[in-house]
Amino acid sequence: MKTIITTLIVSFALAFILGILLGIFKKIFYIPVDEKIAKIREVLPGANCGACGYPGCDSFAAAVAAGEAPANGCLSGGPSVAKKVGEVLGVKTDAVKNVAVRTCQGGNTIAKDKGSYIGIKSCSAAKTLGINGTKLCSFGCMGFGDCVAACNFDALHMGKEGLPIVNYDACTGCGMCVTACPQGIMTLVPADRKGSIALCSNRNPVKSAVFKQCKSACIKCGKCERTCKYDAIHVIDGIPLIQYDKCTSCNECVEACPTKVLKLVENIVQVSI
């Protein structure tokens, strides 16, 4: 009994001494925490997607508080998060919500395959092998879904045509799919953009070969240029490019395109209110 009591006394004494020492060490080695960092971190989505250029939300919050990153740098959070971060910093932010758009329509029934691919089912792997794509159109979607795997918000899935489909209600515009696509067919556009966009990446200068490669490819006919009354569209490096400060979204170039390459952005990006 005496041994048990002695053990308890010694244990309590050691715990008391350790508690005092921990308190002393805490004061000696205390590192002040910037309240701004904690407040900024609190309003961030916590996805740790890396789209901001930092390893995670904690690093981004610290960078913003230190003035090393912009208040609207959280791409996945969009304008709403940028506004909250700006309120913490006491500044106004100008952020636009972006969403991803796939600039290729070369699905399984439209773009012909070169042959049977038996390698690693990855777009990057197929690209690295030097075969320049799995389809006759070396510029189009390979259909292995690297973009889908890169999305942290379940905003992409592969459709039955072998092309990624964007869920615009879930898309945050983080740009991870854009980075993951070795073909460069995923692009970011403002969610409220109006005007035409070319859903083709085929830059093959040989016009006769383009249609053989993909039935929905730009055949470089220039009809869109000639149709536009506002000089808002020009075929550059084989792809129609639009000047949105001139485009009126009149839809005439869309109707004139013989292979239906051009679409209005507002008809593609559908976001529920």
Question: Quick one: pLDDT at residue 93?
Answer: 80
Query: What number of other Cβ atoms are within 10 A of residue 16's Cβ?
Result: 10
Q: What is the pLDDT of residue 218?
A: 94
Q: Which helix (H) or strand (E) holds 186?
A: strand 186-190
Beta strands in 17-149 (DSSP E): 98-102
Cβ contact 251:229 at 8 Å: no
pLDDT at 159: 95
DSSP 3-state of 239: strand
Instruction: Going residue by residue through the chain, which has 273 residues, state the pLDDT in tens, using 9 for 90 and above.
Output: 667 777 777 677 777 777 787 777 766 765 666 788 888 898 888 888 888 888 889 998 899 888 898 888 888 888 888 889 888 888 888 777 899 999 999 998 888 888 777 788 899 988 887 666 678 898 999 999 999 999 989 999 999 999 999 999 999 998 999 999 999 999 999 999 999 999 999 998 888 888 888 989 999 999 999 999 999 999 999 999 999 999 999 999 999 999 999 999 999 998 765
Q: Beta strand 239-242 with 262-264: parallel, antiparallel or unpaired? A: unpaired
Can you give the pLDDT at residue 136?
87
pTM for the full model?
0.77
| Contact in structure between 225 and 252 (CB atoms under 8 Å) | no
Q: State the pLDDT at residue 29.
A: 65
Go through the domains of the chain in sequence order and give each one's CATH number.
35-89 (1.10.15.40), 98-268 (3.30.70.20)
Query: Residue 233 pairs with which residues in a beta bridge?
Result: 242
